[in-house]
């Protein structure tokens, strides 16, 4: 990406551009969601300007605008498919930069129910800074995309079109200066992440504010890097140790990345915070439900001290349900919904949204829809809902986690007990078909109906010989279909899975 100057700062470069202002789009935020959005927009607008608070380095590096980038990140198959569509060969780019090749190596999954080992298909282990840098370099090759580094959007520019409000750009300033400049555009996309100011901006503009759902996770990571000696580099691939959240048992992850290093993370929620004190880190690993992580760490050399990351809450802003939504404005990624990072959904959901935006822009070019931006936010909501529902159901198992929102408490409790049945059958009973269904739904590769639809529930209950349990869940005279309709959100089959086609 090329760095540009604001109008009035150096020969009015942007205002004298040959590109008309009407074919310019602005993306607020240059992280993964912003990069994906910019790439898609470059097929529809003559000029895309990414406004990024950080000064970006020409190498993989941690940066203040991504406070969680020291910690492990993973992509679901959904996200990997979108990245391959937008950036063919991106995985080879990772490997060329030293990413750890996992293909054929074994993953260890350890839970209170069982321990499993299975080989990886094609996959790469890398840090978040390397992943973002590889994608940023691809975006940099797009001549229509430019970046304003060290700048921030302080407000939206608007005007009235009849009785409807239109966003016409953003007021932008350099972080170190107080003066701001107006930057006009036909479309503004907020990709500024979980700390987005969009709800406040909308309220200031008289549009009201979204009816935000909040999952009070009180979650925390503690991550430490270790150097892997050459003699051990292929002995251990990914290790995932999952405690029982209802007992406040923490989880641990070991994952080799580039540079002969491994990321190790200990995780807790509900206010159960893992230590960042170096002297307490490895003893904490030894307290997990299985000693494997501690045994591995005992053979490795630590690189630096543990670093913590805390997330008090995850938020869903259902912008598609707002009665007033300005034209010329979109939100994407964590700006709409911030997930529990442990499940690795955020980048994949943002990738699916970016692809959906591309479809909507193609449709807008063929059809006249004066409210296409609002309708697209509604489509984003359909992509987000399965992932949001998954983390709410999972995290509410932790003591100390609470939820404010519209999801049915009865439905959540049913899902928690039902998933316990599925896990026991899959892990203790060795039912790999059920295990695949469970992982497919949790990983966003399959629609929720594959596991939670009426036909699927009946199949699982029969297979697990849990008909008596199901009967107890239903009120007198209540059918399973009616219960699911009342207690589950309305999922739209395939909306997320189709995003990488």
Tell me the mean pLDDT in the region 295-302.
96
Q: What is the model's pLDDT at position 7?
A: 42
Alpha helices (H) in 320-401, listed in sequence order: 346-366, 372-395
pLDDT band with cut points at 50, 70 and 90 for residue 118: confident
**H or E element in which residue 253 lies:** strand 251-256
**b/e string for 152-168 if b means 16 or more Cβ within 10 A?**
bbebbbbeeeeeebbbb
Top CATH class, 2-68+133-213+320-388:
alpha beta
List where CATH 3.30.9.10 sits in the chain. Answer: 77-126+218-311
pLDDT at residue number 5:
43
Is residue 277 predicted with pLDDT exceeding 80?
A: yes
**Mean per-residue pLDDT for 210-236?**
94
Q: What is the pLDDT of residue 308?
A: 95
Q: For 30-150, where are the E strands, in sequence order?
A: 47-52, 100-101, 106-110, 115-119, 124-125, 145-149
Q: What's the mean pLDDT when you consider all of the chain? A: 91
The pLDDT value given to residue 61: 92
Residue 177 CA to residue 175 CA, distance in Å, equals: 6
* 330 neighbors 357 (Cβ within 8 angstroms): yes
Instruction: Give me the sheet containing 2-3, strands edge to edge.
Output: 2-3, 145-149, 47-52, 24-28, 187-190, 329-331
Question: Burial code of 466-476, b = ≥16 C-beta within 10 A, e = fewer?
Answer: beeebeebeee
| Least confident interval from 57-66, 190-199, 214-223, 470-479 | 57-66
Asked if 34 contacts 27 with a C-beta cutoff of 8 angstroms, the reply is: yes
- Eight-state DSSP code of residue 337: B
> What's the rounded Cα separation, in Å, for the pair 414 and 270?
21
In degrees to the nearest 10, what's the CA dihedral of 289, 292, 293, 299? 150
For 146-163, write each residue's pLDDT tens digit.
999 999 999 999 999 888
Structure confidence at residue 196 as a pLDDT band (50, 70, 90):
very high
pLDDT at 494: 53
Do residues 146 and 48 lie in contact, with contact meaning Cβ atoms separated by under 8 Å? yes
Percent of the chain at pLDDT exceeding 90: 79
Whether 15 shows a pLDDT value over 70: the answer reads no
Model confidence pLDDT, tens digit, residues 358-377: 999 999 877 778 899 999 99
pTM of the complete model: 0.92
CA distance 252 to 222: 10
The CATH number of the structural domain formed by 77-126+218-311 is: 3.30.9.10
Distance CA 377, CA 196 (A): 16
Listed in sequence order, the DSSP H helices in 216-345 are 278-286, 292-297
* Section 274-287 average pLDDT: 97
C-alpha to C-alpha distance for 189 and 333, rounded to whole angstroms: 10
* pLDDT at 22 (0 to 100): 52
Instruction: Note the pLDDT of residue 493.
Output: 59
* pLDDT beyond 80 at 290: yes
Q: Cα dist. 38→189, 212, 279 in Å? A: 9, 26, 44
pLDDT at 41 over 70: yes
Between helix 409-423 and helix 432-442 the angle, nearest 10°, is: 140
6-31: average pLDDT: 58
pLDDT for 19: 36
* Contact present, 38 and 48 (Cβ < 8 Å): yes
**Alpha helix stretches (DSSP H) within 12-109:** 32-41, 77-86, 90-96
Q: Is the pLDDT of residue 128 over 80?
A: yes
Worst-scoring range by mean pLDDT, 58-62, 273-277, 296-300? 58-62
Pairwise pLDDT comparison (375 vs 65), residue with the higher score? 375
The pair of three-digit structure tokens given for residue 75, joined into one six-digit string:
């992509």
Q: Where in the chain is the domain with CATH 3.50.50.60?
A: 2-68+133-213+320-388
Mean pLDDT across the stretch 141-148? 94
Of 258, 260, 239, 262, residue with least CA distance to 124:
258
Is the pLDDT at 500 greater than 90? The verdict is no
Nearest residue to 342 via CA among 309, 374, 382: 309
Return the pLDDT at 426. 93
Percent of the chain whose pLDDT exceeds 70: 94
Which of 109-113, 124-128, 314-318, 365-369 has the least mean pLDDT?
Answer: 365-369
Measured distance CA(444)–CA(19) in Å, rounded: 39
For residue 239, give the nearest of 299, 301, 294, 307 by alpha carbon: 294
């Amino acid at each position: 990406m090329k760095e540009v100057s604001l109008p009035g700062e150096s020969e009015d470069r942007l205002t004298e551009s040959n590109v008309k202002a009407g074919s310019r789009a602005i993306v607020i935020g240059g992280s993964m969601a912003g990069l994906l959005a910019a790439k898609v927009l470059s097929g529809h607008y003559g000029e895309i300007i990414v406004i990024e608070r950080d000064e970006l380095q020409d190498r993989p590096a941690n940066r203040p605008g991504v406070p969680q980038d020291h910690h492990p990140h993973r992509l679901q198959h959904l996200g990997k498919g979108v990245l391959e569509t937008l950036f063919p060969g991106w995985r080879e780019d990772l490997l060329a930069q030293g990413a750890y090749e996992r293909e054929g190596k074994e993953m260890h999954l350890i839970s209170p129910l069982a321990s499993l080992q299975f080989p990886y298909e094609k996959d790469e282990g890398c840090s978040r800074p390397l992943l973002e840098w590889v994608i940023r370099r691809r975006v940099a090759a797009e001549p229509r995309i430019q970046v304003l580094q060290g700048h921030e959007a302080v407000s939206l520019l608007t005007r009235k079109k009849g009785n409807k409000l239109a966003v016409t750009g953003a007021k932008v300033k350099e972080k170190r200066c107080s003066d701001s400049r107006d930057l006009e555009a036909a479309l503004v996309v907020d990709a500024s992440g979980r700390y987005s100011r969009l709800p406040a901006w909308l309220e200031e503009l008289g549009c009201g504010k979204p009816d935000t759902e909040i999952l009070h996770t009180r979650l925390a990571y503690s991550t430490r890097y270790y150097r892997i000696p050459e003699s051990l580099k292929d002995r251990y691939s990914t290790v995932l140790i999952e405690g029982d959240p209802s007992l406040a048992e923490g989880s641990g992850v070991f994952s080799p990345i580039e540079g002969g290093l491994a990321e190790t993370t200990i995780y807790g929620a509900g206010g159960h915070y893992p230590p960042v004190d170096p002297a307490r880190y490895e003893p904490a690993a030894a307290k997990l439900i299985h000693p494997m992580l501690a045994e591995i760490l005992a053979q490795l050399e630590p690189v630096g001290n543990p670093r913590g990351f805390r997330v008090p809450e995850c938020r869903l802003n259902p912008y598609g349900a707002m009665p007033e939504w300005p034209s010329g404005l979109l939100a994407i990624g964590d700006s709409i919904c911030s997930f529990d990072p442990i499940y690795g959904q955020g980048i994949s959901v943002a990738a699916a949204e970016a692809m959906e935006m591309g479809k909507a822009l193609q449709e807008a070019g063929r059809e006249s829809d004066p409210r296409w931006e609002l309708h697209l936010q509604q489509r984003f909501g359909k992509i987000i809902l399965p992932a949001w529902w998954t983390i709410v159901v999972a995290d509410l198992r932790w003591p100390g986690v609470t939820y404010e929102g519209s999801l049915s408490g009865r439905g959540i409790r049913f899902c928690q007990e039902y998933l316990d049945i599925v896990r026991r059958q899959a892990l203790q009973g060795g039912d790999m078909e059920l295990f695949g269904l469970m992982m497919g739904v949790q990983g966003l590769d399959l629609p929720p109906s594959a596991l939670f639809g009426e036909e699927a529930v009946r199949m699982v209950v029969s297979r697990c010989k849990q008909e008596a349990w199901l009967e107890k869940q239903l009120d007198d005279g209540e059918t399973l279909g009616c219960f699911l309709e009342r207690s589950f959100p309305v999922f739209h089959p395939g909306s997320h899975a189709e995003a990488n086609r």
